[in-house]
Chain A
Amino acid sequence: DIQMTQSPLSLSAFVGDRVTITCRASQNIDKYLNWYQRKPGEAPKLLIYAASNLQSGAPSRFSGSGSGTDFTLTISSLHPEDGATYYCQESHSAPWTFGQGTKVEIK
């Protein structure tokens, strides 16, 4: 199985800050990497698919980059409603695996 490792596991930032979350795959997954946002009490929502494509309806302050084994999710300017846990997911091969999640707290 492919292992996905996110860092950091938690962070705290101010509104307006630029936030970066990384995700590393245990083997080459090309661009088969997706990002989800999960808020307490809600189902996860797709933010970025295929490493760098913004899902329809997701705010343009979210962006994704990377290929191979190293990927990044960036929030260009943190908004209060961005307080959530963010997960990466590889879709290269089953069993599709997720990172441990990064909890983003708004200071």
Chain B
Amino acid sequence: QVQLVQSGAEVKKPGSSVKVSCKASGGIFSSSTITWVRHAPRQGLEWVGSIVPIFGTAKYAQKFQGRVTIIADEATSTVYMEFSSLTSDDTAFYYCANVVGGDWFDPWGQGTLLTVSS
């Protein structure tokens, strides 16, 4: 059973970058697909992007293309999501999740709160 543990809360200034980690255990990391979803205040859930570690290539929601990079470190079974050019609109909980079967998400990491404020 895959378990996902994310890095802690972050506070960043507008215009800066952040890197959030998601460490997997209990499953076959390389052949998994890990996805990132965010939940901004008063907003719904929003898919950010995904990666298959064994292939190393990521796909992103067009909205975030150019500002987000997802990479995988097979040696440590960790996926990283880096967001650049942060604005207050990026303030949100960011979740990683394991993609299963017909692209449903289970389980999810505990979430990482990113606050962007001057």
Contacts and interface: CB of A to CB of B under 8 A. Distances in A.
A43 B102 contact: no
B99 to A, nearest CB: 9
A87 B106 contact: no
Give the interface size class of chain A: 20 to 34
A96 B99 CA distance: 11
B44 interface: yes
Contacts of B59: 94
Interface stretch (B13-21, B66-74, B75-83, B108-116): B108-116
Interface string B76-118: 0000000000000000000101001111111111110000000
Contacts of A49: 100-102, 104, 106
B61 interface: yes
Contact of A44 (B46, B61, B95, B100): B95
B31 interface: no
Interface string A34-77: 10101000011110011000010000000000000000000000
B104 A44 contact: no
A83 interface: no
B61 to A, nearest CB: 4
Contact of A46 (B35, B37, B104, B109): B104
Nearest to A41: B111
Given A44-B108, A46-B106, A96 B101 contact: no
B105 A95 contact: no
B45 A50 contact: no
A22 to B, nearest CB: 16
B102 A91 contact: yes
A46 B44 contact: no
Contact of A101 (B44, B106, B108): B44
A60 to B, nearest CB: 18
B92 to A, nearest CB: 13
Contact of A89 (B50, B95, B105): B105
Contact of B103 (A96, A98, A99): A96
